[in-house]
Chains A and B, each alone.
Chain A
Amino acid sequence: MIVAEQKPLEEIRQIITPYQRILILGCGTCMTVCDAGGEREVSFLHNTLRVAQARSENGSHTFSEYTLKRQCDPEFLDVLVDKVADMDAVLSLGCGIGVQAVAERFPELPVLPGVNTSFMGTTKEMGVWDERCAACGDCRLDETGGICPITRCTKGILNGPCAGTKNGKCEANKDMDCAWILIYKRLESLQQLEKMRRYYPPRNFRTIPRPKRIISKANIDVGGGNG
């Protein structure tokens, strides 16, 4: 799941300053799960902005709110056509993908980000999320016991542990587990410790072209007859 964090109120208020009528747009998928832009957060932000406006007695925004099931696919956005008709801007609480999808769908409308998209991760406990994947495009989890050194090692090194590990913790952050010690223990319990001996050459991240695209459909010409 994609994890994000709502922007500070001050920043949001600044971003929306030029616009009068604003639709606060939530997302019912990842942003709901990470408490950044689900229906409850949309409503909370809506109320907060109104209180802030009422209290400071400056600004004359009018807000409305709506939460989509998902912002990142254009088909979900069709219901917005009527809703954004008389809006000056959309404040999207979707992740970066959602913001862009809405912007792409409504080219004439300013779409503002309400959250900082942070990482791909998992829920550790209620209200705590941890990063787990960097989307590097070259997964080696089979060789590291299902523990990703790119995201979970502070240095992202491929041949660990480094000399900075102490009592299983990282030198950069003493509260954090050393990912390579975790990998070692996991491989040990899998009886695959020989994988620790391998050497992985440094990766050249520059070779990964951006933006990436995945095509899973077969490249068949639809009009090609039945031959």
Chain B
Amino acid sequence: MSGVWREQSVPMTDKECALLALEAIGAVVTDHSETQCSLRIGGRSWTMRHTNGRYAIRYNPRNRGSRPSWMDGLGEAYAHQIALKQERLARREQVATLDADRRAIQQERAAMETERKALIETRKATVIKQAKALGYRVKETVQNGEVRLVLVKTG
């Protein structure tokens, strides 16, 4: 084995939770549209963009020390906001007496699930495309919602 990489935090697929998480870590959102959000944090301006199925604030990871410390806090804050949203939706569903209210809650939960699935599909398709371009053969298996892509190059 020569290298192992693990993604540090859950990708941000829910815009509402992403904005609340940014607020929780002290970011000031100066402008936002459907796919882009300008913010200031740690004395710098950053842009959060919706790309490849997630909201991301990108930096150069190969430049040592470039990962801002607040990024770790953002991952935790987002996971917390997602948990809060799930709880909020469950509580609202319990007390909803009108069918219309219940349907709206179910639609909101379905939208979150759609975003999660879209992220996985986007990631899978991108990895397969890049792998083939790099000359790898790709074998895909899916088990319990986990996608495993085995890329092999011989030569």
A in complex with B: no
